[in-house]
Structure 1
Amino acid sequence: MDPSHPYAKELEIACLTVQRATLLTKRVLEAVDKGALDKSDSSPVTIADFAAQALIIGAIHRAFPEDDIVGEEDSKALRLNETLLNRTWELVSSIHLDDEESEALLYSPSTKEEMLELIDLGARGTCNRENRSWVLDPVDGTATFINGQQYAVCLALVVNGVQRIGVLGCPNLNLETGRMHEDSVDKNGYGHQIFAVAGQGAFTRRMGRGALLPATKLDQKAQITEPKDLDFVDCAASTSSDITAHGRLASYIGAPWPQSTDLWAAQLRYIAIAVGGCNVSVKIPRKAAYRSKMWDHAGGMLIAQELGCTVSDLAGNPVDCGLGRTLAGCYGMIVAPASIHGRLVEGVKQII
């Protein structure tokens, strides 16, 4: 991206801190594989979540100290469990980018207490229309993460309720297969980073251990008009979505079903649309009161939009990212190429 762009600094810091956090998560998985941590225990996921959140917030808060930060985790569990605290601190203290110039742009806490305070800074974040807010999910896909499947480290910048930057680090993403699958992982490298800047498009780069590698701009999604050309990504195991209703919608409009790609993590469904061969994702909640968490969608939504998709609630209304830690005004979601998005909205009206 043009270094004179008004969000050039934010993008560089975001991409670097996400890359560093993915190295941290990889370190945890190596410990599990070598038997240093028990896969049946929840602690590997907990350590990765807390440690990644501390490192990401540390870098963002140092570079942009006035900005609001919204993170999924708080430090309560660490303050109550000294063993978990020490493991998390050891991990945070040991992760650095190999490139000194890149590492110097970031920040790491110098004490355990500072680490805990950084984690809690994210827990206090609000994300409203009056501020600049960074929204992060340190490990999206905790269940699949511990199994060595697909997961993402996610960071987005929201300014006055509008997404401006989205960066998703996908350490296990394998682009050689053409279609995403939980078990089709990058075994030899560090996966890929998919990112977008509002009005500038979406990009992909390989991740490494040092400076950021060159990025390639992604092609726009084909603007299809026929339901038969829809290619769904979904999650059959989701406890919040009514996948039976998703199937009824596909049948009603004449689209292929069942879904071609099944992914647990919400953010990875945006990645499946960006680089994994899919072009549509729908979420019809099981419960009328359900609202999605900001960190499950911020950034991923921007990537889809920059590739020519429309993202809306089930009624076709734009998603408002300035209503707090949840997408409070958004009941359900439809993500699809702009050319056919309206057909899906009308179909939803007919089946629910």
Structure 2
Amino acid sequence: MDSPYSHELRIAIRAVQSAAKISQSVLSSDDKGTVEKDDLSPVTIADFAIQALLTATVHSVFPDDNFVGEESAADLRDNPLLLSRVWELLLPLRDDEAKSLCKLPRSPEEMCAMIDECGFGEPGGPESGRVWVFDPIDGTATFVRREAYAINLALLEGGRQVLSVVGCPTLPAHAKGPIDNKTTGLGSIVFAVKGHGTYVRPLLETAREPALQKLEPHAASVSVADLRAVSCYHMLDSGVDGAHDAIMARLGIATRGCDLLAWVLRWVALGLGLANMTVWVYKKRERTGKIWDHAGAMLLFEEVGGKITDIDGKAIDLTVGRKLAANHGFVAAPRNIHHLVLKAVHDVLHEQGKANLLA
């Protein structure tokens, strides 16, 4: 695909392919070196190793760019055994480092420094220039259970999404919906460049799979009757009880559709046309999304005709910090009927006595 970001795209795809190798080597293991973070979410040795790999690779090519990622290396510095296990995950990639275009840290100390390059990074405001955002394993809770997860890599310029590359090691390139956390396949990469569309390809080229497919703008002009949802129905308690089902009932959506934990995979499902709407209302106004769960991946849906706002109808602001503190929740739908989905959200929240969740 020709675009102003062809070089960045080539580097990003190769980095995601190598990251997928790391994740798959850990996926089959019973002991994933899981640590519980302060927010009670899990992190594994794969998360640390992949963030180090992605940062080192992109930094070696674009040394003046900035980085934001989910993890910091504090737990590794405090736990020599955990540090050793993460370092050992990178060693098998040494043999094909040049061929894969990847750049690996040269020592455990450099590995920790690369992780912290992201872990303490901030996206900055509209004048922030180029910022790469990484989520090494989105869906760690399902990853630990050997289920669906994603590797998210995004490039922002001045806080605007310009490039998205998402590795989906468990999702086949030509998946048919609806899908859930247990859907398995050979794996795929879904990517988008601003103004140039959304594409899907196999995680690795094979003789049986087409190398690349551009996705048609499936969300450009559909009716409410055509809506198909993606959400998380069984694993999160952060959403408003009953509101999501009521909103879908108000819109006449008869089936729940795709059921996915990882937010990045939900954006992938929307980009691929396995669904074309999602709504999420947090129980508390102060609860917010995190930039690495959404940056870049939202572009996959926008490039096929989707529109994404928060529940107040405001555009998602990726410049305010590591948390999306300027927004509450998400409403994503085909551009021409987004206003109708947003109205259904407001109507249901008013009827349920939860209008306080609106601005």
TM-score (norm 1): 0.90
Deviations 1:2-24 (A, max 9, x none): 1xx32221111111111111111
Task: Confirm or deny: 8 A CA contact 1:231 1:280 kept in the other structure.
Answer: yes
Corresponding letter in the other structure for 1:181: D
Q: Paired residue for 1:259?
A: 256
Q: Does 1:286 align with 2:273?
A: no
The yes-or-no answer on 1:106 pairing with 2:102 is yes
| Residue 227 (structure 1) shift | 2.4
Report if the CA contact (8 A) 1:223-1:337 is conserved.
Answer: yes
Distance 1:265 1:243 in 2: 19
Q: Does 1:130 align with 2:127?
A: yes
Q: Secondary structure in 2 aligned to 1:95?
A: helix
Counterpart amino acid of 1:147? R
Which residue in the other structure is 1:269 paired with? 266
Structure 1 residues 97 and 138 mapped into 2: Cα distance closer, same or farther (>3 Å)? farther
Q: Give me the identity figure in percent.
A: 38
CA contact (8 A) 1:247 1:258 kept: no
Give CA deviations for 1:292-330 in whole Å, capped at 9, x if unaligned: 000000111011100100011112221121111122211
Cα 1:96–1:203 shift into 2, 3 Å: farther
User: Are 1:164 and 1:198, in contact at CA under 8 Å, matched by a contact in 2?
Assistant: yes
Q: How far did 1:113 drift?
A: 0.2
Shift of 1:258: 5.0
Q: Find the residue that maps to 2:106 and give its secondary structure.
A: coil
Structure 1 equivalent of residue 31 of structure 2:
38
The worse-fitting range, judged by mean Cα deviation, of 294-303 and 230-239 is 230-239
Other structure's SS at 1:9 match: helix
Question: Counterpart of 1:29?
Answer: 27
Q: Which amino acid aligns with 2:253?
A: P
Displacement after TM superposition at 1:251 (Å): 2.3
Q: Distance in 1 between matches of 2:10 and 2:94?
A: 16
Report whether the alignment pairs 1:53 with 2:51.
Answer: yes
Indicate whether 1:295 and 2:292 are aligned.
Answer: yes
Supply the RMSD in Å over aligned alpha carbons.
2.1
Letter in 1 for 2:106: S
Task: Determine the C-alpha separation between the residues in 1 that align with 2:252 and 2:335.
Answer: 16
Pick the aligned partner of 2:229 from 229, 232, 242. 232
Separation of aligned partners in 1, 2:77 and 2:20: 24
Contact residue 20 and residue 209 of structure 1 kept, 8 A: no
Contact 2:220 2:304 in 1 (8 A): no
Cα shift at 1:93: 1.9
The DSSP-based 3-state class of the residue aligned with 2:27 is helix
Shift of 1:198: 0.2
1:113-145 Cα shifts (integer Å, max 9, x gaps): 000000000012110122211001000000111
- Consecutive unaligned residues of structure 2, counting only runs of 5 or more, are 36-41, 350-359
Partners of 1:140 and 1:265 within 8 A in 2: yes
Residues 1-352 of structure 1 correspond to what in structure 2 (within 5 A)? 1-2=1-2, 5-30=3-28, 32=29, 37-38=30-31, 42=34, 46-95=44-93, 98=96, 100-101=98-99, 103=100, 105-128=101-124, 129-131=126-128, 132-175=130-173, 177-179=175-177, 180-186=179-185, 189=186, 191-208=187-204, 214-236=211-233, 237-242=235-240, 244-252=242-250, 254-257=251-254, 259-275=256-272, 277-352=274-349
CA distance in 1, matches of 2:89, 2:15: 15
Letter in 2 for 1:198: K
Runs of 4+ in 1 over 6 A off after TM superposition: none
What CA distance in whole angstroms lies between the structure 2 residues aligned with 1:276 and 1:84?
Answer: 40
Distance 1:6 1:47, change over 3 A: same
The Cα of 1:204 is off from its aligned counterpart by 0.7
Aligned length: 336
For residues 94 and 340 of structure 2, what CA distance do their matches in structure 1 show? 48
In structure 2, C-alpha distance between the alignment counterparts of 1:223 and 1:165, rounded to whole Å = 20
Preserved contact between residue 226 and residue 340 of structure 1 (Cα < 8 Å): yes
Query: Deviation of residue 224 (structure 1)?
Result: 4.7
Distance 1:339 1:332 in 2: 20
The 8 Å contact of residues 270 and 300 in structure 2, kept in 1 or not, is answered as no
**Alpha-carbon spacing, 1:25–1:54, altered in 2? closer, same or farther (3 Å):** same
Q: Return the letter of the residue paired with 1:185.
A: T
Amino acid of the residue matched to residue 314 of structure 1? I
In structure 1, what residue type is equivalent to 2:184? Answer: V
